Structure 1
Amino acid sequence: MSTVLDPTFPILQPGVGDIHGDHYLRATTDKVLWGRLPCRTDAPVLTVAPGATITIDTVSHEGMLDDQGSDPRAYFRAHGVHDSAVLIDAIDIAANVSRDPGADGPHVINGPIRVEGALPGDLLKITVVRLDPRVPYGVISSRHGKGALAGELPRHAQNVSVFTPIERRGDSWAGVLPLTDDGDAVVEFPLAPFLGTMGVAIDADERPHSVPPGSHGGNIDINLLVAGAVLYLPVQVDGALAYVGDPHFAQGDGEVALTALEASLRATLRFDLVPHAKALADFGELDGPLIRTTEYLVPTGLDPDLNAAMRSCVRAALALLQARYGMAEHLAYAYLSAATDFNLSQVVDIVCGVHARIRVADFTAVDRG
């Protein structure tokens, strides 16, 4: 199948197009990390007051990695993409930002961002205001040693990176994949953009690897974090030192092949603080990420062992129901079994993720807001 990109799609090069936030953070080489996450010793690239919105140009690592040639222009040109549709910040980062392929993760990380007044014990509240695709294509990759079928797929020694254009379907966009390498028949799937990595700096002197998620958030890969969703993260260091990255156009729960549809986004986010006392009253003592959507409260469980991640998520859900609604533990356990779905966030990031979807409508009569 030949690549034909929609000529009407607006390529969001740095500084091009609408900027919806109070602040604008470009992905310049001095404002990103590649393969590592911020820690307490990192200096902020931007400082904002609580309530501020920031528009952030995020960059997908796909097309930049060493096993793809470390040259986004050449990589995407080989897939029929004109040079004008290759992001210049991706080209600059690939050429000028240091990364050790053997020791560092793949993700390009924007930040850290200092939020004035944030203290350990508070919650950083990140609201996803909007997510705009920067290019009309992405990549889905599978590599040996990674993925749900590590060592089995891909069938040969090299990585398999599947170039995936997106096409307009009415008022929305769809990802398009061929059924076979040499055929023109295609399968289409809807886009649901989100940021796979959203986190706060750890209280340590060494930057953590960008792949495994943890209590700091990081690479949680939860596809519910679309526009309108909210992520709560326990602050570990003064100022929170927040960061984002790993943009996706779409991902199925589990993300079994190692990556999903990885592609660059322009993200507009609002950063607020929930003081410790209010955080305790609203959610109890959180020790990891919590998501809220219009439909669900979403506690999480993280562990290298998937069974342990599941148990951790159940415990987090029980604690949330007890703290927020005063629900007796044995009744909360029964409710979760009868009415709550537990989903695999991802099984490919060293630390596995499970998240629960607790319907907020079930608690309308007792919800404190």
Structure 2
Amino acid sequence: MSPRRLLLAATLAAALAGAPDLASAKTILVPVTLVGGVPVPCGAERLGTCHNRWHFALHPVATAEPGDTLVFQTRDALDNQFNRTSTAATVAAANLNRVHPLTGPVFVKGAKPGDVLAVTIEKIEPGPDRFGYTVIVPGFGFLRDVFPNPAIVRWDLDSSGAVSRDMPGVRVPMNGFTGTIGVALGPGETRVAFQREEQLRLAGGFVLPPEPHDAVPVGICGVGGSFAGGPTPCLRTIPPRENGGNMDVKQMIAGTTLLFPCFVDGCLLSTGDVHFAQGDGEVSGTAIEMNAVVTVRVDVRKGRAALGFRLPEIEGKKIPGLLKKLEPNRFLATTGIPLKPSGNRTPQEFTDGTLASLSNVAEDVTLAARDALLNMIDLLTGPRSPAPTRLSPEQAYILSSVAVDLRISNLVDVPNFLVTAILPLDVFQGGKDDDD
């Protein structure tokens, strides 16, 4: 028998041996402390169920068996620094060190390095406050050079969608998913991730390095914590990595199964940063952010990481047509190619400046996406806007972040790769169609 067949046979045997006993499966609540229906700040969580950094030394807050159901109560992406009375000034004063308070981690029995943790999303529900927000944070977001000022749209959430007095005539349907969900990296993987990100930062790349201030848990990740620095420090949650994390994949809805390679015993699963809705791209830097209740089922696929799992994968095999609900009934799309004003450098341009004098850049999908998005914002703010009332540039940018899907349309037609920005017209209540 070939080595590959031997590996497959061994993997199948291990998987059968580790198959969950569904008859004995249980439901485990991973709670947060609520005051008036709103979670207390992560750093004030007395239950010890919150962390806002990734690290292998985090202590499990619960233990699950394969086949168990986990119910996570979660905080919004910015740790409830905003509410229905917040303003642009509140956004400007936000403490970004508190980003991504996560609930967990949960130790899954039987999971070992080399295994794959299968996490099936069963239900996503808004938290009891039924409040969401989308913000523009200065210095962050895809068009941070175009939108340097803070802004906020405050949403009221219910089963029919999200509406806001800050965005009249718009209703965004709920397509909830976990913006951030993942497992712990091991010591070796943590060292590699830190080294490569530090090299990029020193070369001028946009990287958020380890930050002990406001880190939770303090004893491990905070100032003076055991892993506040060194070669394997606590890592920020902003970038996705091999462990998953802040993936922001809007297709990770209820019914999908997320597959994470395990790097430590128990895998150590955490989640948070749940989105009521998001466009593909999350271009302003935020979706419709909310507190939430996330219900998942966990299983272990023994030895599967040895078959080539390098990064998380997403399955949608069990429910036919699962993603059709994410597709618009009616839409309007703009396109973009890699064009820019001559002499202009975008925030994403990571070169020595030799491209600055060009107005057309070859094979640049990021610049094409930027062009498509700028064209969409121009459409939404101009006389041809399908919105009931013409939107401000900030409103158009925020609407694009929560509802417009950026799609790669071609990566071969050199020099101009093309990206499409797709706007679902059903988000407008009483809007107009442009038949010109």
TM-score (norm 2): 0.51
1: CA distance, partners of 2:138 / 2:177: 25
1:210 aligns with 2:237: yes
Aligned to 1:27: 32
Residues 285-311 of structure 1 show CA distances to partners (whole Å, capped at 9, x for unaligned) of 01111001145999xxxxx9999999x
More off after superposition, 55-64 vs 222-231: 55-64
Give the alignment partner of residue 115 of structure 2, picking from 109, 122, 125.
Answer: 122
The question of whether the paired residues in 2 share the 8 Å contact of 1:107 and 1:210 is answered with yes
1: CA distance, partners of 2:30 / 2:311: 26
1:173 aligns with 2:160: yes
Aligned to 2:169: 186
Amino acid at match of 1:31: G
Give the alignment partner of residue 198 of structure 1, picking from 164, 175, 181.
Answer: 181
Aligned to 1:55: 71
1:289 aligns with 2:312: yes
Give the alignment partner of residue 155 of structure 2, picking from 147, 157, 164.
Answer: 164
SS at match of 1:255: coil
2: CA distance, partners of 1:292 / 1:132: 21
Amino acid at match of 2:156: P
Larger proportion of strand: 1
1:138 aligns with 2:136: no
RMSD: 3.2
The question of whether the paired residues in 1 share the 8 Å contact of 2:126 and 2:157 is answered with no
The question of whether the paired residues in 2 share the 8 Å contact of 1:178 and 1:187 is answered with no
Amino acid at match of 1:119: K
The question of whether the paired residues in 2 share the 8 Å contact of 1:62 and 1:139 is answered with no
Aligned ranges for residues 181-260 of structure 1 at < 5 Å? 185-204=168-187, 205-260=232-287
Amino acid at match of 1:186: G
Residues 213-262 of structure 1 show CA distances to partners (whole Å, capped at 9, x for unaligned) of 10010000111111111100000111101111101100010000110100
C-alpha spacing 1:308/1:221, structure 2 compared with 1 (3 Å) = farther
Aligned to 1:268: 295
The question of whether the paired residues in 2 share the 8 Å contact of 1:173 and 1:191 is answered with yes
Structure number with greater Rg is 2
C-alpha spacing 1:144/1:189, structure 2 compared with 1 (3 Å) = same
1: CA distance, partners of 2:116 / 2:272: 20
SS at match of 2:133: strand
C-alpha spacing 1:343/1:270, structure 2 compared with 1 (3 Å) = farther
The question of whether the paired residues in 2 share the 8 Å contact of 1:197 and 1:220 is answered with yes
C-alpha spacing 1:200/1:59, structure 2 compared with 1 (3 Å) = same
Give unpaired runs (5+ residues) of structure 1: 1-19, 69-74, 80-99, 299-303, 311-340, 345-369
TM-score (norm 1): 0.59
Give the alignment partner of residue 145 of structure 2, picking from 151, 166, 176.
Answer: 151
2: CA distance, partners of 1:200 / 1:21: 21
Amino acid at match of 1:176: V
The question of whether the paired residues in 1 share the 8 Å contact of 2:154 and 2:165 is answered with no
C-alpha spacing 1:309/1:49, structure 2 compared with 1 (3 Å) = farther
Give unpaired runs (5+ residues) of structure 2: 1-24, 34-44, 88-93, 188-231, 324-347, 351-362, 367-404, 409-436
Give the alignment partner of residue 44 of structure 1, picking from 56, 60, 76.
Answer: 60
SS at match of 1:266: strand
1: CA distance, partners of 2:137 / 2:75: 20
1: CA distance, partners of 2:349 / 2:66: 36
Residues 259-283 of structure 1 show CA distances to partners (whole Å, capped at 9, x for unaligned) of 010011111111110011x555xxx
Amino acid at match of 1:76: R
Amino acid at match of 2:172: F
Q: CA deviation at 1:61?
A: 3.6
C-alpha spacing 1:120/1:279, structure 2 compared with 1 (3 Å) = closer
Question: Could you tell me the percent identity over the aligned residues?
Answer: 30
SS at match of 2:84: helix
Q: CA deviation at 1:139?
A: 0.3
Q: CA deviation at 1:59?
A: 1.2
Q: CA deviation at 1:343?
A: 5.0
Q: CA deviation at 1:76?
A: 3.2
Between the two proteins, the alignment pairs up a number of residues equal to 245
